[in-house]
A = this chain, B = another copy of it.
Amino acid sequence: MYSKTSLETKRSHILIAIDAMGGDFAPVNVVAGTIDALRETSNRFEVVLVGSGDKLIREMQKYKGEELRYHIQEASQVIDMHDPATAGIKQKRDSSISVGITMHKEGNADAFVSAGHSGAVLSTATLILGRLEGIGRPTIGTFLPTERGVCLLLDAGANVDCKPQHLYEFALMGSIYSSEMFQIKNPSIGLLNIGEEESKGNDVVKEAHKLLRQSKLHFIGNVEGRDILPGKSDVVVCDGFIGNVILKFGESIPSFFKGRIKRIASKSLFMKVFSGLVRNTLREALKSMDYEEYGGVPVLGVNGVVIIGHGKSTPKAIKNMLLRAEEMVRKNINGRIQETLTIEK
């Protein structure tokens, strides 16, 4: 009833479902980011906002009169941060996350993006969409800035305990994602470890090292914590415990430095005068560490296109999540993963 165009007509456009209730500033930022994405791409794709129709219609009043290709899909529940990750398939089956993912499963959307409860998105997506054939564990990757550009680190928190085979699967999916989305030819894969030597690390990592060495991937061996920022490898593979700690540690660096510079600037008049300049430079230097630029991170290994965003997603971050989802659909990342899994076997 809320749709501006009917979803039942045969779609010529890519259609992305977005969790309109997900994130700390939903639905305001989700709607604003969606509008920006549609404007910027001249309606190249369509968006379905999934959530409370009343709230969304009210929010959409701000943008009345524009010809933008969006739809609204009612979902009566919202999964909040206190809900368990299983809420989407148990207590809250009419949540925006569950409804959006079900739309994707049923072919009424080509992708699903959410800045909401990432654990719930992962669980719901894994259960409703299922896993790609040959993939034991879906994974969430994250992007880290490097001296050479960006690297994809995975797993970033989805899988706390991993078997060697899972680390190998992460490497394979990361390789394809980087190759297709970042146009990196034959991406280099590094296995995060505490030393370069093959003998280093725990049993899981040692076994994963063997699997990766035997694979057709461009495995360059172990990488250490100090190798990430210089960009020694395009893809960094690790279990989700360590990946999550690195991700969050990295996210905290900008504000740490901003605080330091402020304190240094407050010590002298000369520095006070120039502190604006210093801060601007720092901001520029830190830009690549900003999640806004990447918009969100992909869930790889589920049978669908799913992107998870930061809870604090700004309109810009939401916009970038939608653009990234569209790109993943167009480039058929899952098809490429499936192909490569067959070749590797």
Residues of A within 8 A of B (CB): 147, 157, 160-161, 192, 194, 201-203, 205, 224-230, 238, 240-242, 244-253, 255-257, 259-261, 264-265, 271, 274, 277-278, 281-282, 284-285, 288
For A253, what are the chain B residues with a Cβ–Cβ distance below 8 Å? Answer: 229, 253
For A252, what are the chain B residues with a Cβ–Cβ distance below 8 Å? Answer: 225-230
Known A-B contacts: A194-B240, A224-B245, A264-B285. Give 17 more (CB < 8 A): A160-B201, A224-B248, A225-B244, A228-B249, A229-B252, A229-B256, A238-B245, A241-B242, A245-B246, A246-B246, A246-B249, A260-B284, A260-B288, A261-B281, A261-B282, A278-B278, A282-B282
Distance in angstroms between the alpha carbons of A228 and B161 in the assembled complex: 23
Q: From A231, which residue of chain B is reached at the shortest CB distance?
A: B256
- The 21 listed contacts between A and B (C-beta, < 8 Å) are A161-B202, A192-B245, A205-B241, A224-B244, A224-B248, A225-B247, A225-B248, A225-B250, A225-B251, A225-B252, A226-B252, A230-B256, A242-B242, A245-B245, A249-B250, A257-B285, A260-B285, A264-B281, A271-B281, A274-B274, A282-B282
Distance in angstroms between the alpha carbons of A161 and B242 in the assembled complex: 13
B242 A245 Cβ-Cβ under 8 A: yes
Q: From A285, which residue of chain B is reached at the shortest CB distance?
A: B260
Distance between A243 CB and nearest chain B CB, rounded to angstroms: 9
Copy number in this complex? 2
